[in-house]
C-alpha cells in the first residue's frame, strides 16, 4: 500500500467516525450550533434528485440548520 492509498484509507476512516459522532440513537449534532439535539427536536428530510433518485438525508435542527446525516 503506497502513501496515497494510506492517506485515502485514513480519510475514509475519519469521515466515518465524524458521521458516527453526528448521529446517535439519542439525537443529532448540528455543526452550526455546535451541540446535539434530541431526535424529537430535529426534522429528518430525505432529498431526491430529479428522476426520483435518492441523494441524501438531512437532519434540520430547531434553528433551521441542516446537516447531512446520510449521503
Q: Which three cell numbers stand for residue 22?
A: 453526528
CB 46 within 8 A of CB 57: yes
| pLDDT tens-digit series, residues 22-51 | 555 667 888 898 888 888 899 999 999 998
Q: Enter the pTM of the model.
A: 0.62
Residue, of 43 and 18, whose pLDDT is higher:
43
| pLDDT tens-digit series, residues 47-71 | 999 989 999 999 999 999 998 888 8
Per residue, the 3-state secondary structure of 4-52, as one string, reads HHHHHHHHHHHHHHHHHHHECCCEEEECCCCEEEEHHHCEEEEEECCCC
Mean pLDDT confidence for 8-23: 63
Give me the half-sphere count of Cα atoms (radius 13 Å) on the Cβ side of residue 20.
6
**Chain-centroid distance, C-alpha 52:** 21
Amino acid at each position: 500500500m503506497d502513501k496515497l492509498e494510506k492517506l485515502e484509507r485514513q480519510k475514509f476512516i475519519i469521515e466515518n467516525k465524524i458521521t458516527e459522532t453526528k448521529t446517535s440513537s439519542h439525537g443529532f449534532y448540528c455543526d452550526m450550533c455546535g451541540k446535539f439535539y434530541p431526535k424529537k427536536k430535529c426534522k429528518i428530510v430525505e432529498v431526491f434528485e430529479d428522476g426520483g433518485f435518492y441523494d441524501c438525508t438531512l437532519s434540520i435542527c430547531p434553528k433551521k440548520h441542516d446537516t447531512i446525516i446520510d449521503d
